Every structure is written in structure tokens, then in C-alpha cells.
Amino acid sequence: MTGTINTTGLPDVAEIRNLKVRFATDGDPVDAVKGIDIQAHAGEVLAIVGESGSGKTVTANALLGLLPETATMSGAVIVRGRGGETDVVHASPAKLRAMRGRDAAMVFQEPSTALNPVYTVGWQIAEGLRAHADGRLSKKEAKAKAVEILRKVGIPDPNRRVDDYPHQFSGGQKQRIVIAMALVLNAGLIIADEPTTALDVTVQAEILELLRACRDEFGATIVLITHNMGVVADLADRVVVMLRGDIVEQAPVRELFANPQQDYTRELLAAVPHVGQGKSALAAASIPEPLTPGPEPVEGTPGASTSSAAADEAPAGSLIVARSCEIGYPGRFGRGGVVAVKGVDFHVGPGEVVGLVGESGSGKTTIGRAVVGLTTVVGGSLTVLGQEMKGVKQRQLAPLRPEIGFVFQDPATSFNPLLSIAECIAEPLIVHGRASSVAAARARVDELLDAVRLPANFGDRFPHELSGGQRQRASLARALALDPKLLIADEPTSALDVSVQAKVLDLFVQLQAELGFASLFISHDLAVIDAVADRIIVLQRGRIQEQGTTAQVLNDPSNAYTRELLTALPVPDPVEQAERRALWQAVRRG
């Protein structure tokens, strides 16, 4: 597909012509990019979107010449900057090194792996300056520039924090530092590869504001690689949609969202979860009786409940009941412990899905781990399936294990890579004496694979042979192997493409309706919670800020923090998203 016409009057900062990328494998070669044309105009944000395997990250890496040795590249990839014009396909290693950082820079998806843990952030920022200064920059000057750029990207107290190490910063701050490394040499082209995927919605909104400032204040052209159409609507000027190595559509952002021309683009947009389209919409339309008695609103705070009310009104047979529950971690080397969850009260009734939402560090994963006995209850009470978890011994937990399933955030690391999918799913059946061997468990494994909409022959594959969405379906099958009464789902869709996420959420809702298990569903995304939850608990810094039915919390939030979470969540509509961005900024100021 041909590119777009440049109407700025300035030369394109980057230009890709008939780019083809082929990877050599042990089997047949893989054509990852199949002859595409893209132009990045000066001063714009160009979003390249698509699912995993679409070729978008390969295209981004091609702009910097970062493809592995197994890749063969043809066509033209031109980057223009202060050093003139660089043809990445044919440039020498020395010319590529000179171009990187000076003319084009990368903001990687995972800042924890992009930053070296043994060097201070100031040293790492200054490293790029020294590499391009040819000895003309003193250490003092380099450090001063590092402090200046940290200040510009919003790191507080940069004079002190320039000497801190990456582990001393939060996830959002680490992403700001990676952006600072890209900006410090005033590169004209910044390639941002999924820069907000692992971030909470409020931190994501802050990073998007910073990237917008990179364009507006620093004059950078940004190539944004993402599968999040809400992020595209918030930040992009123009959009390129890729599928299996080809461009299927490209257009200005408002035009593409208002009138997508291709079925694939329409499917991507339709798959984005949107607050107000899930259970909150159903509840608002029909006002049904809740599945279990919900907490009564406190007078003057519609939709909210006090913590104590939530626990005191726990219905008979509740699978989880927390009363003034405190959960903590022991200290090390004689230091005092840390109380991560501070006096929370809530319940999960039979057959109920309760969404636990909050930012990183809010304590939501800590609660999920405490439910299965992996973190310590240090105060109050937490009862799970009738067992008091405060002071519980491991032998007392043994009878509970078959009754609780756990779906982990990243199935790639929760599966043993040396075992087949069938062996992974059969493992809990064998451990708990429900089957004597994998062969004996195979009928049940095939039944579970069918339940999660996977072919039975997938049981013979290994985890690396499945896509992310397929692995997460297999993870769900393993969690359901023992017919648990309670399922803990910890961010089970956060690493998935938007269309795969939609399918996994639909599957979760169907299985929960069919099997009737209760669930504590943990997420930082209120739109995901809206798709599955009957009630919502909002956590901040270890305390419950608000809880109530999904309709109450999402349609009429009483707490300022809940309102900030809602307004920070991007929606796949550029016009509406511009309004929501202004509202989010007002909420933050207010």
C-alpha cells in the first residue's frame, strides 16, 4: 500500500520504501514484513497498530537497524536528521552507531530490561552523551545535562535522584527515564514501542502527556507502536494498520476511527473494552437484583459503602470474608515488616465475580496472594472457604488447595516450558490424586481444552508453540481442572492483544455462567472489570476507597480516586478522548 502525501513542506523524518524482512528459521523462512511503504512526517505522531505477529515491532526495529542476524532486509529505510540522511538497510555499523541517539532513538516497552541495574540512571543518560561527544564533554557537564533532562521529563528532585539506581524508581518513573535517554541528544525521531502496555491507567495517561510534550515542545516526530486503540485515539495524528506483515489501511486518526474502511480495522476497534458497555450497562438498563446482597450506600456518598458494612453484610456461604484485614511482608536484616494492605473489609459471595481494581502498589495482588496463603495476614481476619488465614499453617491449607484455582498474569512464565500443555493441565489432577498419570488424566484434559475452545491436539504442543491468547486459555483450563469453587484471576488479560483479550474475557464470562464458580478478578483496567464483575472494590495504597455494584461504582463514583481512574482510561474515539483528557487534567488539578 502506498504512503500518504506530506503536506508539511518539510522533508519526511523517516521513510520506508518497499521494505521486506525475512527471518531464517530451522524450518521454512518467515516473511515478517512484505513490501510496505510508510512515511513519518515532521512533527507528527504516527501510530503503527496491529496484533502480535503483524510486523509492527519488526518495522520499528528496522528503522534503527536493530534486527537480529537471522533477518534479511531489502528495500529502503531512510532516516533524516542532523547527521544527514542514513540508509539503514545499507549503512555501515559505524554509521548506524552515529545515527542512533543523535537522529533516532528508541523507547522500549519494558524499562526494567532497558535500564542496566548496576549503574545509576544519571550515568546511563550520560553514556549516550559521551558516546557522541568524542571526548569533548566532561563528566560534570554530562551529569548536568542528565539532571536537566530528568527535570524536563518530570522526575522530582532530579539533582538527588540522578545518582539513584533503576530499582529505586516506580514503573512510570523508569519509563520517564527511558524517554529522557531518548531525548537527551535531541533526536528528531523517537520510536516508542508499546511504551504504556505494562503501566496503570493513570501512569499511562501521564506518559502519554509526556510523549505529547516530546512532539509539541521538543519538536520530535514520534512513531508509536501499539495494539491499544485507546492510546492511538489519545495521541496519534495518523494511523497505519498492519496485519501479517502488510499494511491494510492508513489514514488520519479521526478519519480512521470515524470511518474505518477495512474489516480488520473495524474488528480491532470493536474489540476494545469500553466502560459502559459491560455489566454496568446491563445493570443500568434492567436494574436486576444483585447476585448476592451488595453493601448499602453510605448516606451522602451514592454508590459507596463503608468497609465494615461490606464485611458485616457478607451473605451466608461467602467464600471470602475480610474484616479489618491487614496483610504484610516480613522485614529483612532486623528491619520492621511492611503492611501492604491496611484494614480492609469485603466479601466474595457464592457464584459472584468481584473486581479488585487499583494501581500498582495498591495491594490488589497482595490480597489475591493472601487468599491462597502466599502472603501473611498480620491483623484482623481473612476467612477463605471457612478457613481463617491469620496464623494458618501450611498443613491446614492442604484441603483448600483443590477448591481454589489461580490464573496468572503471564502464562508464558507460569507454564513449565519442558512439559506439554496436556502435562501442565494434568499436573493438578495428579498432585491431588484425581488421576494416576497424564494418560489417565487425558480424557479430563481434552474436556477442559474443549471448554476453553482449544482443539484437543493442542495438548500435545509445548507452551512456546501457542500464541499468548492460546496460552492464557490453557492457563484457564489448568485453573479449572479440579472444579474449584473459587478462582483468583490476577491481571489475566493485561499482556494480550485487544482482540485476543476480548475473546478471553468473553470465554471467562461464559465459563463462569456455566460452572458457577466465584471469582476475585484483579485488574488495573476498569473497562476489563466492567466486562466481568458483578461488584467492584477500588483500592489505593492498601485501603479501600470505594466498593459497590459495578453499575454504582462506574456510573456514579463517589470517590475522587475512582473518578481519576475512570477519566484516565483512554477510549477508542479521538473526539471523546480529547474531552476525557481535558476532564482528567481537571480532576488531577482539582
Q: Are 305 and 547 in contact (CB under 8 A)?
A: yes
What's the pLDDT at 196? Answer: 82
Q: Answer yes or no: is pLDDT of 310 > 70.
A: no
pLDDT tens-digit series, residues 33-67: 999 999 999 999 999 998 877 889 899 999 999 99
- Whether the per-residue pLDDT at 340 is higher than 80: the answer is yes
**Whole-number pLDDT of residue 305:** 44
Give the DSSP H or E segment for 220: none
- First vs last C-alpha separation in the chain: 47
Is residue 327 pLDDT above 90, yes or no? yes
Q: Which helix (H) or strand (E) holds 582?
A: helix 574-589
**Per-residue confidence (pLDDT) for residue 9, from 0 to 100:** 59
Render pLDDT for 387-398 as a digit per residue (tens, 0 to 9).
999 999 989 998
* Pair type for strands 14-23 and 30-40: antiparallel
Tell me what pLDDT residue 466 has: 82
Q: Do domains 1-103+189-267 and 279-570 have the same CATH topology?
A: yes
In this prediction, residues 307-319 reach a mean pLDDT of 68
C-alpha 408/C-alpha 390 separation (Å) is 24
pLDDT of residue 59: 93
* CATH classification for the domain delimited by 279-570, as one of 3.30.420.80, 3.40.50.300, 3.20.20.140, 3.30.1360.120: 3.40.50.300
Residues 6+ apart with CB under 8 A from 209: none
Q: Cell 527515564 identifies what position?
A: 177
How many angstroms separate the CA atoms of 478 and 482, rounded? Answer: 8
Residue owning grid cell 560534570: 140
Residue 365: name the closest of 234, 521, 191 by CA. Answer: 521
Quote the mean pLDDT of the chain.
Answer: 86
Contacts of residue 197, defined as CB under 8 A and 6 or more positions apart, other chains included, come to 109, 226, 228, 494, 495
> 19 vs 32, 44, 64, 323, CA distance in Å?
10, 21, 14, 60
CA 1 – CA 560 distance, rounded (Å):
47
Q: What percent of the chain has pLDDT over 70?
A: 91
Query: For residue 79, what are the β-bridge partners?
Result: 14, 86
CATH, domain range 1-103+189-267: 3.40.50.300
Can you give the residue ranges of every domain in the chain?
A: 1-103+189-267, 115-186, 279-570
Q: Give the model confidence (pLDDT) of 238-291 as tens digits.
A: 999 999 999 999 999 999 999 999 999 998 888 888 787 777 766 555 544 444
Residue of 467, 495, 526, 464 lying closest to 109 (CA atoms): 495
Is the pLDDT score of 311 beyond 60? no
d(CA 140, CA 148): 12
172 — pLDDT class (breaks 50, 70, 90): confident
